[in-house]
Structure 1
Amino acid sequence: MTFLETDVQSDDHICHDLMEDITAIEAKAADSREFTGNAHTVNISQDGITIKTQFDDSPDTTYTTGLKHFREILEDWEAFILDEDET
């Protein structure tokens, strides 16, 4: 997923912040949250996650998934980048 490589990169703080945003949405403490990175914008709502490329408006550059699945992706990416830091 290009979003992870270009926007999150090796910053585990971004992973953590996005997971906190998901928790806030799930707890209904917020209706929606948005993250704008280097090349993508992430919209988080009760309906799920939408990741849009900032520089291309074609429909095939938009990715959608559920809150749980996106959290799992972030957890896996965080484990990967933290493992890379240890080597």
Structure 2
Amino acid sequence: MKTEKIKLGVPDKEGQLSIMFSKGGPRKGAGRKGFGVTKKLSLTLSEELWETFERRANSLHISKSEMVREIMEAFFLTESGNKDVTSIAD
């Protein structure tokens, strides 16, 4: 069995301790960069509509978050008069 060296690190956030391997691991500035503000939203839909929504997201190979974002962008861009938006419902 191969053993790897580990070290304990104290990240910038106070009160957290992390175990870091000799290669890789959490680094400041690493990871996917955000492109907007994240806010949590609770949405109540009928079971049938949830199933339709999830099937559509799966068929497009996108997350539910991406699906909601595209629906909202299409709605607001169309509402503002931009007719170049293609609907994901096609």
TM superposition score normalised by structure 1: 0.31
TM superposition score normalised by structure 2: 0.30
Structure (1 or 2) with the larger CA radius of gyration: 2
